[in-house]
Structure formats: C-alpha cells, structure tokens
A = this chain, B = another copy of it.
Amino acid sequence: MNDKFFKLPLEKQQRIINAAYKVFSQNSYKKAPMSEIAEESGISKALLFHYFGNKKGLYLYLWINAMEMTRKAVREYKTLETNDFFEMLKRSLLSKCSLMRDYPHMYAFSLRAYYETDSEIKSAIQDNYSDVSKASEKIIFEKMDTSWFRQDIDLKTMYDEIFYAVDGYMLKKYRSNIIVPNEIEQEIIVLIDFWKKVYTQEG
C-alpha cells in the first residue's frame, strides 16, 4: 500500500476503489482481473500496482476500508440507540443505503469477500473480521423490546425471515446491474412498515 494514493483527489480515489469493489463483487478473487479494474476506473494497470503493490494488497485494503466505513455508518445512524426493533432495522439499512451512494458495490463486495475461499486471502480476512453487520444484528436481537410483538409468532423465525428477505431484495437489485440508492431506501421503508404492521400487536 502506497500512501501516495491518499494524496489523489478524492473523486479519483473513489473512482478507483469503486471499480475494484465492482469487479471483485462480480468475480471470485482469483478470476477478477486487475486489468478490468484499471480499465473501469480509467487509469493504467501499472498505476494500480504502483498504489497497491499487488492484487492481494488491493483486495485487503478494500476489505478493511469496507469494514471501517460500515462500522462508522452504523454508529452515525445511532442504530443501537433505541430498543424498537423496526427502528433499529430501519437505521441499520438506511446507513447501508447512505454508503451505497458513494460506494454502490461495497455491500456486494463485503458479502462475497466473507464467503471467499481462496487460501491466499481467506486467513487474512477471517482474522480481521469482527463480524460487523452480523454482530450488530445479534445485538439488535438481544436488545430489542419484545413486548410490542404479537404473542403468537416465533420471533426467531420472524428475524430469520426478515433478513432472508433483505438479502433476497438486495440480490435482485444487484442482478439488475444498476443501483439507485434513493429507490432502494424508499422500497426498504415500505418493507419495514409492512413488517411492523404485520408483526406487532394492534392498538
């Protein structure tokens, strides 16, 4: 990692790492070509190696960067400063939407990176992984006030089901190959309001 990268104009830095997030989110580590990242970001391949040393260096920087920014966004949205489950959920997802505005493919990258099996990076990633989103989800589950919910449903199943749906929704968005954070934000809110109505007690 060459520190000169950080002296680049911020817009250029973002263009580069966004290209990298995109390519690495759409290919396995091994089959993601550095040349494609260079082309997508409009710089030469040589410059990419100049800044990040090698492929592994770039990948690990992306990973650490994603973790830091996710943690920061979750904190800024005060995700855990309530015990209303649906409010937590909304803050958590809106924080991810805000990240998506600057880094559209970061979310998809993180998911893929977590399940990456390539031995060259697996260890480095698992070591560094403090389970940002999953851990915060666990905390949500423990902290939330359960008295508002319908008494006849299994909360664990509800919890799983909601996160399946979020995953499935995001999967569909990424497959469409064009990410519009405003649209996602809006549709996410519709879903959350729907869940709140269905799962909480009347009155």
Contacts and interface: CB of A to CB of B under 8 A. Distances in A.
A175 B115 contact: yes
A31 interface: yes
Q: Tell me how many chains of this kind the complex includes.
A: 2
Given A167-B168, A169-B168, A171-B171, A152 B197 contact: yes
Interface string A84-115: 00000000000000000000000000000001
Contacts of A198: 153, 198-199
A166 interface: yes
A131 interface: no
Nearest to A150: B198
Contacts of A153: 194, 197-198
Nearest to A190: B157
Interface in A134-159: 152-154, 157-158
A165 interface: yes
Nearest to A202: B152
Contacts of A167: 164, 167-168, 171-172
A195 B175 CA distance: 26
